[in-house]
Chain A
């Protein structure tokens, strides 16, 4: 797989997210060729801390998604608290105040489904640790659009339910420990 085929990475994580993302995002080089869109379930109001935390540890640019913001390579964009974050076909972010999905806003499914529509086979979808089922339906949409699907090995996850549900919904997903996910992302997006 060459970087040219890939257009974006979408990551979803819930319980245990910060520890898992701390192993992944700081490993990305400054000139990482893909945009990285991330949904983390945290109680409303806490997300700006997340952005600050990762900005201090990452070489790539880190921000919180704003409505109509262009999606840029080499940038990690976290979904803001209390909004769903979607990808528009033109490569910009749009936000939505629609009802929570699985009690969660932002929702991983909502990001993944819209990103699968926008990027098709160019999307790499990653489901990490978590204690609910968000992301399973979204990852299936990524696979159906021809994208790459990666799931954290449930045996290595802080909370297994979410990666387990993702694998059940998307049988062809590649199951990897965090180290393997980092390698796959580097291979997908290093110039």
Chain B
């Protein structure tokens, strides 16, 4: 075994901790409890992209140059999403959750970690088709301001539309996806009335608190980036935000199986990772 190798390994871990601490103290972005393996991979990419040799040197740049910090934060908040990602999830929302939601006179729906708005638009379209739109207020939150701005614009590159259209169809869409957008500005511009009842807001599942009582929260592929204690915090936030009998939808490979709040929820559609807040 090579001692030099072992040592440099440990040094890198120390450097990463210090860098994340610097990012938090200087800019209040708290990635300190993100899943280590993922954050390390992203940070390595960010460092390579900046052409910097060590994390210590990157930390120096981050502390003294807000523009570098902003670029690194953009790198750490992964923006990969789709319209109707995992169509069977949206089909289950439509067929199994919507009938319950129809019994409420008014609805608050929270899309947590909404990225550039793909998931939000999917819900807005689904709610319009199910006649729930007028009674619904959506909250779409993320910590990446550029993503929130993009979500509020609702314009997507045309080369992504074919995949979106196929997902929409598989998700049980009742019309044609093209009914909801026009082409222009080099992309597909989604109907702005879909966003009329949406509040976009900068909200962190790590550092921010409950802000309203919800009937449905969809938080997909966000908590996979958190470590276990941080996941517990976020799920606790969802538990406290949900009305009794309200719904929580997760990504297709996430579950509450390992969560300390598991007992506050029951499985509603098991295969789709849709949970219901227990009534007692």
Chain A residues near B (Cβ < 8 Å): 64-69, 80, 82-83, 86-89, 92, 94-99, 110, 113-114, 117-118, 120-121, 144-146
Stretch at the interface among B2-10, B97-105, B201-209: B2-10
* Contact yes or no, B37 A68, CB < 8 A: no
- State which of A80, A99, A144 has its C-beta within 8 Å of the C-beta of B5: A144
State whether A117 touches B80 (Cβ < 8 A): no
Check A98/B40 contact, CB under 8 A, given A69-B258, A146-B1: no
In the complex, what residue of chain B is closest to A86 when comparing beta carbons? B37
**Which residue from A92, A117, A145 sits with its C-beta under 8 Å from B40?**
A117
Docked CA distance A69–B231 (Å): 13
B86 nearest in chain A by CB position: A82
Given A66-B254, A67-B251, A95-B254; 7 other pairs, CB 8 A cutoff:
A68-B258, A96-B224, A96-B225, A97-B78, A97-B221, A98-B80, A120-B9
The reply to whether B38 and A80 contact each other, CB–CB distance below 8 Å, is no
Say whether B5 contacts A146, CB under 8 Å.
Answer: yes
Q: A68-B231, A120-B6, A146-B5 are in contact. Are A94 and B254 (CB under 8 A)?
A: no
Number of A-B contacts (CB under 8 A): 77
CB atoms of A65 and B253 under 8 A apart:
yes
Is B132 an interface residue, CB under 8 A from the partner? no
Quick check: B5 and A94 within 8 Å, CB to CB? no
Which of B9, B35, B80, B255 has a CB less than 8 Å from the CB of A97?
A: B80
Assess whether B253 is in contact with A96, with CB atoms less than 8 Å apart.
no
Cross-chain contact A145 with B5 (CB below 8 angstroms): yes
B2 touches which of A67, A92, A114, A146 (Cβ 8 Å)? A146
Contact at B35–A86, with CB atoms within 8 Å?
A: yes
Q: Which residues from chain B contact A146 at a C-beta distance below 8 Å?
A: 1-2, 5-6
Interface string of B204-216 (1 = CB under 8 A from A): 0000000000000
In the assembled complex, 12 residue pairs joining A and B whose CB atoms fall closer than 8 Å, in A order, are A67-B251, A67-B253, A69-B258, A83-B253, A88-B35, A98-B41, A98-B78, A98-B80, A99-B80, A110-B41, A120-B9, A146-B1
Across the two chains, which residue of chain A brings its CB closest to B231? Answer: A68
Nearest chain A residue, comparing its CB with the CB of B222? A97
User: How far, in angstroms, from A141 to B36 measured CA to CA in the complex?
Assistant: 17
Determine whether B278 belongs to the interface, using a CB cutoff of 8 Å to chain A: no
Q: Which residues of A sit under 8 angstroms from B228, Cβ to Cβ?
A: 68, 92
Which residues of the other chain, A, contact B221 by a CB distance below 8 angstroms?
Answer: 97
- Closest chain A CB from B3 CB (angstroms): 10
Task: Determine if B2 and A96 form an interchain contact, defined as CB atoms under 8 angstroms apart.
Answer: no
Chain B 131-143 per-residue mask, 1 if CB under 8 angstroms from chain A, else 0:
0000000000000
Q: What band does the interface of chain B fall in when counting residues whose beta carbon is under 8 Å from A?
A: 20 to 34
Q: Which residues of B contact A83 (CB under 8 A)?
A: 224, 253
Are B1 and A89 closer than 8 Å at their CB atoms? no
Distance to closest chain A CB from B217 (angstroms) = 17
Report yes or no: A96 in contact with B38, Cβ–Cβ below 8 A: yes
Across the interface, which residues of A come within 8 angstroms of B2, CB to CB?
A: 146
Asked whether, in the complex, the Cβ of A117 is within 8 Å of the Cβ of B9, the reply is yes
Residues from chain A with Cβ under 8 Å of B224 in the complex: 67, 83, 94-97
Instruction: Name the residue of chain A whose CB is nearest to the CB of B34.
Output: A94
Distance, CA A88 to CA B34, complexed state (A): 11
A83 to B228: give the CA distance in the assembly, Å. 18
> Does residue B197 face the partner (Cβ distance < 8 Å to A)?
no
Instruction: Indicate whether B279 reaches chain A with its CB closer than 8 angstroms.
Output: no
CB-CB under 8 A for A117 and B37, given A94-B224, A96-B225, A146-B5: yes
Q: Which residues from 218 to 239 on chain B have a C-beta closer than 8 Å to any C-beta of chain A?
A: 221, 223-225, 227-228, 231
Q: Which residues of chain B have C-beta atoms less than 8 A from A89's C-beta?
A: 36-37
Interfacial chain B residues near A94, Cβ < 8 Å: 35, 37-38, 224
CB of A33, distance to nearest CB on chain B (Å): 20
Contact A88 B36 (CB under 8 A): yes
CA distance A97 to B254 in the complex (A): 12
Contact present for B42 and A145 (CB under 8 Å): no
B-side contacts of A120, CB under 8 Å: 6, 9
Which residues in A have their C-beta under 8 angstroms from that of B225? 96
